Each structure stands twice: as structure tokens, then as C-alpha cells.
Chains A and B, each alone.
Chain A
């Protein structure tokens, strides 16, 4: 290489650094592996806002999506509420249940939230915070995907999207029922 051609190494020297930073997008620093993945889902019985009991055990044999939320959790919970409702309507006939667990909230604010978004899947308050402790939640929203045998198979931190729900739920539905 001639002496003058070497000078183009100056701009070229920036490329590895830029490539390294671009690589950073492939990884998610917020992904906190949950030790619960692969373990049986902690059982719970709560009372839904409409007064009906909500029991995880009763859903055995179905794929369960447990979503922890709060009415003050703006904007993430506001963003994912329509997603959850859509998913529930799309999948309920295929053996999928969505359960909303409202934590650190007041009943009134939570009921307004459920009403404003027209949520029709079972939603219950976790008044003592016991369920959220059992599931080791760091914040809201967090969502757990539970297979037909009652084991936690995946955990999602942050607002759900249709794509995220589809990937996890379809995978669990594809597994043999037994």
C-alpha cells in the first residue's frame, strides 16, 4: 500500500468500535433470568373484582398467562392492556387463560382501569402482595407463561406485544397435552 493510502485507515479505525456498539442492540440488559422458569408455578387463590374466585389450580390442563399490573403503572400497563384483552379473545377457545393480578393498588383505581380498557379476562387484586412475592416480581408489568402441566415456562418483563404473546402461547399450545 502506498504511503498516502494509509491515511484512509483513520476513518476505518472507527468501524470496529461502531460494530461493537451495534452488537449491543442484540442483547437486552434488562433480561433478568427468573429462577422460577422450569419450576411449578406457585399456586394462589384470589378474589376477582367481580367477586368470583380466581384459582390457578383450577386452570390445570390449560395454558395460563399470569400478568402482574397496577393502575398507576403508566405507560407500560396501559400499553399492554389492549394486547392482553385481544390475546384473551383470540385464544380463549383454544384452551388459554389470561389472569391479571393487580398489585400495590387501590381497589377503586384498579376497577376504573379494568372498566376503561373493557377487560373481560379474570382480574384480581393481590391485597397482601403475597402472590407477587411468590413470583419474585421486580416491578410491573411482568408476565409469566405457564404450561398445561402447571410449570412456569417463560417470564417477560415490561409491556407485552402481540408478537411476544403469540410466540410464547403458540409454543406452549404446540406441546402435547399430557
Chain B
């Protein structure tokens, strides 16, 4: 029953989305309100139907309805309740439903928010959003139908990929997809601007907050992905430049560039062509990411299964890129810049350089990701480039970006005078230099680490200088300290939200630097009662216990960790799932501000007499997650409605 209902709902939703896209376009051309109204109704209908699909699939998961092939593939009778819910989007077909559902939700919000406020763009925005939605519904009905029937109905299902049995699986995909799908909104507005010829800054003003929201979710998705990698995959790291990670990172980079470059257009009427290109590129990269992770073109540790879906995504990517870039070429004459750079030493050029760097990083990541394909075309052999390539090329670019993070927000527009530079940067530069000397004196010898940390201090100092000066200005007109600071944050929430996000990024940079430069690890085989030592920690192997869990068999080691005093017992384990050939590592750790102690269980003797254990002491990693929280606060501040004018 459920397969038929779900499939029917998806088909009707597809028809409605196509209808809505066409009528909205016709409504835009003819100006007849009835057509537009019909498109709106269709969009709401799509939302209701996709919600129904989602609910049906969830119900099928909760009731172990193995007549739905997707349920049988991704769950079994032992799957705990919680993971039967996350299993809904744990694999390809369900992830497409989640995606379509979010896109439908965004479409409805766009209707609610912009049907009056953005009248000129709105019909075309609706066309584009419903068009994109129609594509995902087409995938849902043809290429990767989540409601395909299984026959014969198996008595039990295969089970969820054990690596996905983690609490992060509820937040990570949701955040990531909210980011990806959210980027459809600025893209739709950009296309509407090109189609209508209104390529001024109206579309940018309208989409500014949309972009920040999407960017924020994307950032959150990346961070939670890093956290998942860190505490589930058991290799002690949080980022591996895996194609799937890169696929999410690239649109984040270009969206970041866009968030900065729009400020130049708002202020100086420059970069129209560039901004439109960035939005198109960003949306194209989200599709590319989906294509990459779901087509099987490039092998990855956590790629989805391959199938006909790759051809679908590639065709759609081609359609999107050729249409959007074609429109760009068509409107070429209207896109010529009105302003020009007055000076190299100005905020415009700092932002421009920031954009160039971000796009350069995007390009290198793209190049590294598709390198296996390139090498196959050129030489007939598949060669991957690994983390060393990405790190070597990108670390200098990241450092330059951090430097610009300090310069950009404070340097004057148009042409910075010597006085402006001295007033804003003399103190921070001095603080940065002193910090560099200080870190060196403290024994930091890695040049990259010293440079990163000093730059971080420099940028933090520029933020402090700016904030202190603005607060002082308010104190001078008689405000008191805390109301003055609060007023600054709330009234100039976009500027100070941006600063807080920058602080978050700086904290993440410190975490990354620390973990790269100072983490240590060792691997050793211990008999029962024996200890190993690493970086002041003593780890004693106590015993080994086996237990039967609901859907797997688990062997856990008990290790007492102490550094002078006993800190606790860590229990890393290996989990044996019947559907997996090799066991899944379950790491155990103790997080700290300075360092984490992190244990991975390796081979063990069946009688429990000895076990191999990998010990890692990872330095400053927690600051990555703390930086993520700060970034969250900053993004929320920037998303708040601007109160400057009203207050």
C-alpha cells in the first residue's frame, strides 16, 4: 500500500511543480494574476504532497514495512527506533525526499515573504524554484524512487550502514541540505534579475539574509560533519579532503565570497557580473556536489550507491549552467561595471582579493577532486591526489584570507589614507608581532603555526580596536558601557555579526593549527594489566568484554587513563554487524580544552589476554567545535532584522 501511495503522491507533485513553473513564467510574461495564483497554489500543493511522501516513508521505517525496497535496504528488525528515523534519509533515495521537502518548504516561505515585496522578480523566482523542485521530483519518481516495491518481500531488511548509526546523523544531513537547498533562493533571484533585466542591487538586497541563512546552515553542516568524522570514523581527524567533504566545501567557499562581494556592489555599484557569476557558480557547485556523491563517478569513503541518477544530475547541471551562463552573456551589456577601483589600498580591493583567494581555493579543491578523472583522460590511469596536495596549496591561501579578514572590515573605502591605516592597524600589527615573538619564546617552532597564531591575534586585535572605538564613541554621547555595547551589536548587527563570525573562524583556525602541529599518537599491543604512556598519559589495559546488542555484536576494551591521577575508564570497541564484512570501530575519548585523549581498539586476542590499541592525544581540537558555536552566534546576530533604520 505505502509504495503505491508514495509513488502516486510523488507523481502528482511532479505534475504540479511543472504546472506551477510554467504558469508562473506565463504569468510573468502576460501579467495575468490568475496564472500566478495558480502557480502559487501548485507550489503549496507540492509542499503538502512531498510532506506526505516524507511522512509515509517515515511511517514505513517505523513499522518495518519491508515491502518498500528502500526500507528493506536501510533497516532491519534490530535497528533501534532512533536510527529508523534517521534512516529515512540515510541513503540516496530518502536523501532526495529530504532535499525536495526542504526545497518545497523554502518555496512556500519565498511565496509568503516575497509575493508582495519582490513583485518584479517573484514570478520568475517561482518558476526557477519550482523548476528545480520538478527536477528533484523527477529523480524521485524515475531515477531513484524511494517507494519502489520489493518482491518478494524479505523477512528482514539489510540494515542501515552502521557508520550512520550516530546522533550526528539527525543534524548533519539536515543542516547541510538546508544550506544546499537554501542556496537555490539567491540563485532563483539572480536568474529572475537576468531574465527581467533588473540587474541592479535590488535582488541582492532581497536575498542577503537568505544567503546568510543558507551559508550558516552549510557551515553548521560542515562542522557537524567534521565532528562525526572525528568521533565515529576513528582515525583521529575531522577533515580528510574526501570528495564528499570537498563537494560541500566548494559551495561554502563561493557563498562566502558572495557574502563579501555583495557589499561592494551595494556600496560602489561594482561587480554586477561577478556577483551573478558567483551565485550561479555556487548553485552549480551544490548540484555538482550532489552529482559527485551520488553518481559514483569518483570513489569516496562515504559515497552513495551509483546508478542512473548520475546521468540525471549531470544533464540537469548542464541545463542549469548553460541556461544561467547563457542569460549572463545575453545581458552582457547591462552588466558593465559603473564604478572602478580608485586605489589598491582600499576596502574594495581587500574584498576583491578575498574573493579571488576564495575562488582560487575553490578551484584547487575542484581540481584535486576531479583529478582522478583528469589523469584518466590524460594518461589512462586513475591517480588520486591526497591531503598533502590540498594542504600545501591551500594553507598559504587560507593564511592570506585570515590576514585579509583583519584588513577588510577596517580599511577605508575608495582610498585609504596613511592616517586611516595608522589609526586602524598600527596597534594590531604591533600586537601580532609581539604575539609571534611570544609564541616563538614559548617554544612554538613550526613557522606555519607561528604565522597562523600571530595572524589570528592580529585579526582579533583589529576587531577589538574597532569595537572599543565604536563603544567609546557611544560613551562620549552619554551612554553607559553595557547598553552601549548591546546597542552596537543589535543596531549594527550585520557588521558585528560578521565580526563574531570572524572570531569563530579564528578560533577554528587555532584549533586546526594546534591539532595539525602538536597532536601525537602511538599504537601498541598490551597484555592485560600492562600500561602504555603517551604525552604524560598512562593507559592501562584492564579487560575485554563482549556483548550482544540489538543489531550487532560488540567487543569492548576497558582502559584506565591517568595522568598522575586517574581520569577515568575509556571503552573503545569494535562492533560486528552481520551485514558488514569488517568490524566498525567505536572510539572512546575524553575531550578537553587543551587536548583530547582518544582511544581506538585494534586487534585483540579472543580470550581477552591482549589487545592492540591506538592512543591519540589531539591538541586543541575542542576549539574547532567552540569556534563553530561562536560562528553560530555571529550568524544568528547577522540574520536578525536590521534595526538601524527603525530605532
A166 to B332, CA, bound (A): 55
Q: Are the CB atoms of A10 and B328 closer together than 8 Å?
A: yes
Q: Are the CB atoms of B579 and A18 closer together than 8 Å?
A: no
B73 beta carbon closer than 8 Å to chain A: yes
Known: A23-B373, A27-B376. A74 touches B157 (CB 8 A): yes
Q: Mind listing 10 A-B residue pairs with CB under 8 Å?
A: A11-B321, A11-B325, A21-B370, A28-B296, A29-B296, A72-B579, A104-B578, A104-B581, A109-B155, A116-B152
CB contact between A30 and one of B306, B314, B317, B377 (< 8 Å): that residue: B306
Known: A23-B377, A25-B310, A139-B581. A14 touches B321 (CB 8 A): yes
A8-36 vs B, Cβ < 8 Å mask (1 yes, 0 no):
10110110001011111101111000000
Least CB distance from B313 to A in Å reads: 9
Among all A-B residue pairs, the 6 with the closest Cβ atoms: A24-B297, A29-B299, A11-B325, A14-B321, A7-B332, A7-B329
Q: Are the CB atoms of A24 and B295 closer together than 8 Å?
A: yes
B364 beta carbon closer than 8 Å to chain A: no
B318 beta carbon closer than 8 Å to chain A: yes
Apart from A25-B311, A30-B306, list 19 A-B contacts with CB within 8 A: A4-B333, A7-B329, A7-B332, A10-B328, A11-B321, A14-B322, A21-B317, A22-B314, A25-B314, A27-B373, A29-B296, A29-B297, A30-B299, A72-B159, A72-B579, A73-B158, A74-B73, A75-B69, A139-B581
Least CB distance from A148 to B in Å reads: 31
Known: A18-B314, A18-B317, A27-B382. A75 touches B72 (CB 8 A): yes
Least CB distance from A158 to B in Å reads: 10
Complex interface residues of chain A between 98 and 145 (CB less than 8 A to chain B): 104, 109, 112, 116-117, 138-139
Least CB distance from B538 to A in Å reads: 38
Q: Are the CB atoms of A14 and B325 closer together than 8 Å?
A: yes
A93 to B377, CA, bound (A): 44
A91 beta carbon closer than 8 Å to chain B: no
B38 beta carbon closer than 8 Å to chain A: no
A78 beta carbon closer than 8 Å to chain B: yes
Q: Are the CB atoms of A29 and B298 closer together than 8 Å?
A: yes
Contacts of A18 in B (CB 8 A): 314, 317-318, 321
A12 to B189, CA, bound (A): 23
Contacts of B288 in A (CB 8 A): 21
A68-80 vs B, Cβ < 8 Å mask (1 yes, 0 no):
0000111100100
A139 to B158, CA, bound (A): 13
Q: Are the CB atoms of B297 and A25 closer together than 8 Å?
A: yes
B154 beta carbon closer than 8 Å to chain A: yes
B326 beta carbon closer than 8 Å to chain A: yes
Q: Are the CB atoms of A72 and B296 closer together than 8 Å?
A: no
Contacts of B325 in A (CB 8 A): 10-11, 13-14
Closest chain B residue to A105, Cβ basis: B578
A22 to B318, CA, bound (A): 10
B188-226 vs A, Cβ < 8 Å mask (1 yes, 0 no):
000000000000000000000000000000000000000
By a beta-carbon cutoff of 8 Å, the part of chain A in contact with chain B is: 4, 7-8, 10-11, 13-14, 18, 20-25, 27-30, 72-75, 78, 104, 109, 112, 116-117, 138-139
Contacts of A8 in B (CB 8 A): 329
Q: Are the CB atoms of B581 and A138 closer together than 8 Å?
A: yes
B374 beta carbon closer than 8 Å to chain A: yes
B564-581 vs A, Cβ < 8 Å mask (1 yes, 0 no):
000000000000001101
B150 beta carbon closer than 8 Å to chain A: yes
Q: Are the CB atoms of B150 and A20 closer together than 8 Å?
A: no
B156 beta carbon closer than 8 Å to chain A: yes
Q: Are the CB atoms of A10 and B329 closer together than 8 Å?
A: yes
Least CB distance from B254 to A in Å reads: 15
A22 to B295, CA, bound (A): 11
CB contact between A72 and one of B299, B376, B578 (< 8 Å): that residue: B578
Least CB distance from A116 to B in Å reads: 6
A78 to B157, CA, bound (A): 11
B101 beta carbon closer than 8 Å to chain A: no
Least CB distance from A14 to B in Å reads: 4
Contacts of B297 in A (CB 8 A): 21, 24-25, 27, 29
Contacts of A21 in B (CB 8 A): 288, 291, 297, 314, 317, 370, 373
B296, B297, B578, B581 interface centre (most CB from chain A within 10 Å) = B297
CB contact between B296 and one of A23, A30, A74 (< 8 Å): that residue: A30
Q: Are the CB atoms of B318 and A11 closer together than 8 Å?
A: no
Contacts of A24 in B (CB 8 A): 295, 297-298, 310, 373
Contacts of B581 in A (CB 8 A): 104, 138-139
Least CB distance from B553 to A in Å reads: 12
A78 to B333, CA, bound (A): 59
A160 to B363, CA, bound (A): 39
Closest chain A residue to B157, Cβ basis: A74
Q: Are the CB atoms of B374 and A75 closer together than 8 Å?
A: no
Q: Are the CB atoms of A11 and B326 closer together than 8 Å?
A: yes
Complex interface residues of chain B between 232 and 288 (CB less than 8 A to chain A): 288
Contacts of A74 in B (CB 8 A): 72-73, 150, 154, 157-158
Known: A10-B328, A20-B370, A112-B155. A75 touches B150 (CB 8 A): yes
Complex interface residues of chain B between 298 and 349 (CB less than 8 A to chain A): 298-299, 306, 310-311, 314, 317-318, 321-322, 325-326, 328-329, 332-333
A73 to B154, CA, bound (A): 10
Least CB distance from B363 to A in Å reads: 11
Least CB distance from B40 to A in Å reads: 31
A163 to B154, CA, bound (A): 25
A109 to B157, CA, bound (A): 12
Contacts of A29 in B (CB 8 A): 296-299, 372, 382
CB contact between A78 and one of B154, B370, B377 (< 8 Å): that residue: B154
Complex interface residues of chain B between 570 and 622 (CB less than 8 A to chain A): 578-579, 581
Contacts of B382 in A (CB 8 A): 27, 29
A20 to B292, CA, bound (A): 12
A7 to B333, CA, bound (A): 10
A25 to B581, CA, bound (A): 27
Closest chain B residue to A20, Cβ basis: B373
Contacts of B314 in A (CB 8 A): 18, 21-22, 25
Least CB distance from A101 to B in Å reads: 15
Contacts of A75 in B (CB 8 A): 69, 72-73, 150, 158
Least CB distance from A69 to B in Å reads: 13
Contacts of A104 in B (CB 8 A): 578, 581
Closest chain B residue to A11, Cβ basis: B325
A171 to B530, CA, bound (A): 59
Closest chain B residue to A112, Cβ basis: B155
B138-166 vs A, Cβ < 8 Å mask (1 yes, 0 no):
00000000000010101111110000000
Closest chain A residue to B366, Cβ basis: A17
Least CB distance from A6 to B in Å reads: 9
A4 to B334, CA, bound (A): 12
A23 to B73, CA, bound (A): 30
Contacts of B299 in A (CB 8 A): 29-30
